[in-house]
Structure 1
Amino acid sequence: MKKKYAAIAILGLMTVLSGCASWIDRGESITAVGSSALQPLVETAAESFQTANPGRFINVQGGGSGTGLSQVQSGAVQIGNSDVFAEEKSGIDASKLISHQVAVVGITPIVNKEVGLTDITMEDLRRVFIGEVTNWSEIGGNDLKVVLLNRANGSGTRNTFERWVLDGATAKQSQEQDSSGMVRQIVADTPGAISYVAFSYVNDEVLTLKIDGVEPIDDNVRTNQWVIWSYEHMYTKGEPTGLTKDFIDYILSEDVQENIVGKLGYISISSMQVQRDWEGNLLP
């Protein structure tokens, strides 16, 4: 009798596994990897999509834009999430990838609440990150040592921040973190700390800084008054099909763009009043 039940159990397990395999074979399970700045939007959209489409699964992982681009280029995943254009990353053949711009994200410097500043010039911000300013009192803040925190190499958030703030200079070597959420937590807990995150990661545990009097808010990104922003790309290797296409179409749908994108701290593509190319030039 025990052997009979064991045989039935094994048969049932094989049926389940066979069913899972058939979902994958039919393209009912895909993976999206990359930008941690885009991750909250993709995760939220995936949950909503899966609720509306039982049996269709979206696996979402972080790892940074460089990881997303390299993984989708190699064919290891179906979607590579990136804060930067593929053309900006060495080792990536942009001609083989297709960009689906699903949102825009502003990136802002954040500081610990004890720093004593709410506004900073772009030049002083650059000097902080290249190590010329070592105490906040040097630029009008409290007498606290500057504690720099960077995102890891390969991060699209770091790439965008350094492109617009450092203007070709090299950042001072400092502690690095892979996760935007961890960056925010360390800044919140460390007197004198400064780093940068996407608007979508800002909360009341840290302070954002104005730059030359300009606030890090969506309206200023839309008009390019706040220049530290980037497109959020979902890259595919060639034209997407099946579940991959359906999911990207879902994120670009009016429902998601109007009801989810803004609530999570992103800016919808359709609301932008300016456009930039991969070299940072404003398009006519």
Structure 2
Amino acid sequence: MNRKIKFILLIVLFFFSCKSKKLNYIDYYNKVYAIDSTLRVNKDTLATIKQYKKLFEKYPPSQNERIEEYENYIKYSDHYNKNFGGHKGLDKLITQVAPYWKYKREDSAFFKLYKKYGIDSIAVEEKVNQWKKGLNKTLVDSFSIAFERDQYNERTGPLVEINDRKNTNLLLWTFKNYGFPSKQKIGLTGNDDRFMPMGLLLNHMAGSQKFEYFKVKLLEYVKSGECTPREYIDMVDKHQYINHLETIYGIFIHYSTPDFSSSDSARINKNRKAIGFPSLKQSSKITKDFQKKMKQKHSSHS
């Protein structure tokens, strides 16, 4: 085998090894929060577009509900006439916002963006319906029942423990057969308009006998991008709370008045970064801005 062929084979092997390497979405989330933080400070939208473009070239986009990174990337790019992928980019955005469509369809600016690229509201609705048809019907049916069970009698009485055990078994079965029941598999609204925020169900696994298994398994799904860091740390810190243990992520506090020493804050922020979640200070800023945005939105509709 001559040197040229050997060199080509090495290049091919290197390419496939890079492609086969699993992406770690903890790194993705940390980059998103870093970009968002820089934007808030520097107000440099063009630099933000470049940073997001580089990020989305490596990672299939996600859509943090309070950052909306992929949607903002497209809106910023459109405003400055930068290429965001055209119709392909807009189709990707549909899959990201589709779980929230019940609320998103009220956003007239969203439809205006699509209309600008020759996609009317009827076509947008059809794309969302196509996405819905692609959901896992078995899991949608199962988790519609699970969430109804979870909230039975407002989680009071002797059936709470039994229902949580049933939902534990459903999650274990789902992990084994389908992986994590993400929004891209079951949506956010189930049968009979049942609201299905997975973080709520996982939160009630904090007292499960299978907690240690969930703690390890869900971390794998955070890394794969299927389980959000918030869903994970809510469950873990709830376990710490009900067992009177030291908080790991500082979740069960009011963001505006964190009662932590500087050493506690440093420890918590380090733990948060390790899972792809923003610092206490940045969380507070994001939450306040989000609440302000929601208040403005509601006042404009009233």
TM-score tier, shorter chain, comes to under 0.3
| Larger RCO (alpha carbons 8 Å, 6+ apart) | 1
Comparing both structures, which one devotes a greater share of its residues to helix?
2
